[in-house]
């Protein structure tokens, strides 16, 4: 792998930073407005939300958890773009919390999903068919939820990355300016003096 030219910043903090900002801001907008789901449920029995009343608490816990994780991911993305040494700590904290909550929420979603199918009165599907659909969607959602956290855990475990992050400034400090090394000036060129014919050449 060729060495990075001197005076040029690494590009990976900007890439991961924008990814964190994008997913974090999107999560805040989506899950932060999740109270609309509960409002739709309480409008009446013909609501668009198919939930058993006993499982409504799970929706509230899920929305609150995902909103908090989205805010943490957004903070990690902002710190990555600013190149702050706390960015690694924020990113790893989000990654481990995301993996743990993904397993817990997946199990809860399987239970509430089966109850929702029973309440909605779906026809043409046996109990076995509903279980298969719930398991497939649960596994797919778990893999999707754990992909970015695993990437961040593996990336920040690399010694070179840890060394780069350790050199970043703390909160509230300006990023160190990159000093460019100017090339040394070329040696002066000696000019030859022209003499009349028959004379000797002299050098100044």
Q: What is the pLDDT of residues 32-84, one digit of tens each?
A: 776 566 555 554 444 444 555 566 777 778 888 888 999 999 999 999 999 99
Q: What is the mean pLDDT of the chain?
A: 76
Q: Give me the pLDDT at residue 47, please.
A: 45
pTM: 0.70
Q: Give me the pLDDT at residue 99, please.
A: 95
Cβ-based neighbour number of residue 37 at 10 Å: 18
pLDDT band at 170 (very low <50, low <70, confident <90, very high): confident
- Residue 198 has what DSSP assignment? T
**Dist CA 64 CA 33 (whole Å):** 10
What percent of the chain is helix, strand and coil (3-state, nearest 5)?
A: 65, 0, 35
Helix (H, G, I), strand (E, B) or coil at 51: coil
Mean pLDDT confidence for 163-188: 69
Greatest Cα-to-Cα distance within the chain, rounded to the nearest angstrom: 116
Is 29's pLDDT higher than 70?
Answer: yes
Phi, psi of 113 (to 5 degrees): -65, -40
Helix (H, G, I), strand (E, B) or coil at 202: strand
* pLDDT-above-70 percentage for the chain: 62
């Amino acid at each position: 792998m060729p060495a990075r030219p001197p005076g040029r910043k690494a590009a990976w903090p900007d890439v991961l930073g924008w990814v964190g900002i994008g997913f974090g801001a999107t999560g805040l907008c989506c899950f932060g407005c999740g109270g609309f789901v509960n409002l739709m449920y309480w409008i009446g029995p013909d609501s668009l939300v198919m939930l058993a009343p006993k499982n409504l608490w799970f929706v509230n816990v899920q929305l609150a958890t995902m909103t908090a994780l989205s805010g943490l991911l957004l903070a990690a993305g902002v710190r990555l773009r600013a190149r702050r040494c706390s960015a690694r700590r924020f990113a790893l904290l989000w990654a481990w919390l995301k993996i743990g909550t993904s397993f817990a929420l997946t199990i809860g979603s399987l239970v509430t999903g089966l109850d929702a199918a029973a309440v909605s009165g779906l026809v043409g599907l046996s109990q076995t068919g509903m279980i298969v659909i719930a398991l497939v969607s649960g596994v797919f959602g778990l893999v999707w939820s754990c992909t970015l956290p695993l990437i961040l855990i593996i990336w920040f475990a690399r010694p070179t990355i840890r060394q780069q992050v350790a050199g970043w400034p703390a909160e509230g400090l300006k990023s160190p300016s990159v000093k460019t090394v100017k090339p040394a000036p070329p040696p002066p060129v000696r000019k030859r003096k022209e003499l009349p014919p028959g004379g000797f050449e002299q050098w100044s």
